[in-house]
Amino acid sequence: MENKSHAFAAGIFVLVVTALVIGLGVWLTRDSGSYQTYELSSRDGVSGLQPQAAVRYKGVSVGKVTHIGFDSQTNGNVLIRIAVSVNAPITPTTFAVLGYQGVTGLAYVLLDDSGESYPPLPPGPSGLPRLPLRNSPFSQLSEQGPAILNQVQEATTRINQLLAEDNQRLLREALANIGQAAGSVNTLSQRLDRTVSQRLDPALAALPPLARDASLALQSLQKAGNQVSTMAADIDQTVQRLNAPDGAMDQASRSAQSLAQAVDRFGTTTLPRMERAADETARAARMVGRAAAGVSDNPQGFLYGPGRGQPGPGETGFTPPLAQPAGQ
């Protein structure tokens, strides 16, 4: 009887402890928040996503995955149901992608807002609102994996062709030629060193006197340049004095203007007067000549006057001259 009582007490203790553990688990896992259920439908695979996986909105935890199955509305699609807090800013432009946690391969649902005018999808057969599930970068990478592998294979083939035996032989020959060229360059450099030491050193020794002579020539040129500069300054000053107001150029210009005015006056006034005086002088000279001729022909005119002249043709008393006999 005593053993049965101990067994009964132990059983009751185990039941009580189990109930306490269950109650503690329920109390720790209780969630008093309000959630809205949404559906996601995707043709891509959702490997790594498990029920109770986190749902995050721009990195903030807002819910969890409640169901993963197949979409009865679209054949071949995967249907995911998520419970999202009613406080999450879900809008008609909100979409979902699958995110992955490091190298563990576990996935979660990441919600984001595109900020574009995107109409909401119609609810599914269950009547729950649906959010679009877009391809994640990892899924795009997995889709492009075969193409990347083909490119890697093609690059490997080309590398193998580049490293073929014939190309390796050509590469060895090129390296050998490069070595010969390096040896030739070394020989040429040694010859140049000998040439410099044997022929250029005397020429270099003659350079300091030549440099001194060149320095003296440059000094002479500098002095000549200074003199030319001084002369140019003097000429500039002379030109400025000549061109200054009331200077020589200005006075010469005024003198030329005065001379031009005098010439103009001489041509317009004096010269016509001189021409008239010359005409009158010539007329007077002719009159004096005629008077002198009259005096010479008739000197008695001074005493008796000029008298009556001989009648001319057609006048009374005109006598024509006698004709001269022929032969006289």
Two tokens, residue 7: 């067994």
- Residue 300's contacts (CB-CB under 8 Å, 6 or more residues apart) are 307
| Stretch 306-325: mean pLDDT | 66
> CA 260 to CA 72: how far, in whole Å?
121
> CA 20 to CA 105: how far, in whole Å?
35
Smallest Cα–Cα separation from 112: which of 127, 128, 98?
A: 98
Of 46 and 241, more confident: 46
Read off the DSSP letter of residue 268: I
Query: Does the pLDDT value for residue 266 go beyond 80?
Result: no
> CA 235 to CA 150: how far, in whole Å?
88
Report the range of poorest mean pLDDT among 32-41, 121-130, 211-220, 254-263. Answer: 121-130
How many residues make up the chain in this entry? 328
Kindly report, residue by residue over 85-104, the tens digit of the pLDDT.
888 888 888 888 888 877 67
Longest dimension (CA), the chain: 229
Kindly report, residue by residue over 137-187, the tens digit of the pLDDT.
656 566 666 777 788 888 888 887 777 777 778 888 888 888 888 888 888
Does residue 108 contact residue 101 with C-beta atoms inside 8 Å? yes
Q: Which helix (H) or strand (E) holds 100?
A: strand 94-100
Q: How confident is the model at residue 14 (pLDDT cuts 50, 70, 90)?
A: confident
| Stretch 191-201: mean pLDDT | 68
Q: Where are the domains of the chain?
A: 30-134, 206-237
Read off the DSSP letter of residue 134: P
Q: What is the pLDDT of residue 120?
A: 57
- Residue 33's contacts (CB-CB under 8 Å, 6 or more residues apart) are 85, 86, 87
Mean pLDDT of the chain: 76
Of 94 and 117, more confident: 94
Query: Does the pLDDT value for residue 123 go beyond 70?
Result: no
